Structure 1
Amino acid sequence: MLELQERSKTQSVLRDYYSSGMSKRACARKYKLSYASLLSGWIKKYENVVKPLSLPSESSQEESIMANRSKENYREENAQLKKRVKELEKSLSFSRLETEARDLLITRAEEYFNIPIRKKSGAK
């Protein structure tokens, strides 16, 4: 019975390996296997039981599009991404300022009205 459970777990690991496209080393790390060659052994042992999944054809088309794009398109996309990063950083900075302002407001309200507003960490 135990051997059947281990075999099922092994096949589950192999299915995940085939479907995810991750490296043997990454898969071994994910499942806390002692070494990646153990996974290679399982692949050889169960090659007739667990079939590799074929990847969708979209991914190969997407790869060829990525490989064939021009330097200008790459630069344009890179510039757009940098612009987006700056916008997100600005938004994050503003959000942090808002949080700091709210904290200051709560602190001043607690001092002014002499009542605790913040929830205590040990409260139930």
Structure 2
Amino acid sequence: MRREGTMNYYFMSASETHWGKLLLFMQHVNEVINHMSDEDKKLYLSCVSAKGFYATDDCTSCGKCAKLCPLNNIEIAEGKPHWGQSCTHCMACICGCPSEAIEYKNKSKGKPRYYNKE
């Protein structure tokens, strides 16, 4: 892994092992969320939400974002991704988009993505 300049994002040549670990981690996070009290869930969901994700006009409807989401939280409808409520901000959708068409609010615009070597 190498760090580019002073950006807070990392480029990595991740192997399938990396994605496997990410998937296991996100499944564990989802289990923890499912066992939270209603009050704790409300607090967590008020901090972590998929509401800010969107696809730009550069989206090619390839569906890679939906395939990469470890929580199966993305559906492709009318040719664009739509996020559900189980997002944990792993950023697999943003970083896995081959056309860099997925953004999170204005925070990801123009920022580099990390990529999984295929």
Smaller-chain TM-score range? under 0.3
Q: Which has the larger radius of gyration?
A: 1
From the two aligned structures, give the one with the greater helix fraction.
1
* Bigger RCO of structures 1 and 2 (CA < 8 A, at least 6 apart): 2
Structure number with higher strand proportion: 2
What is the TM-score normalised by the length of structure 2?
0.25
Calculate the TM-score normalised by the size of structure 1.
Answer: 0.24
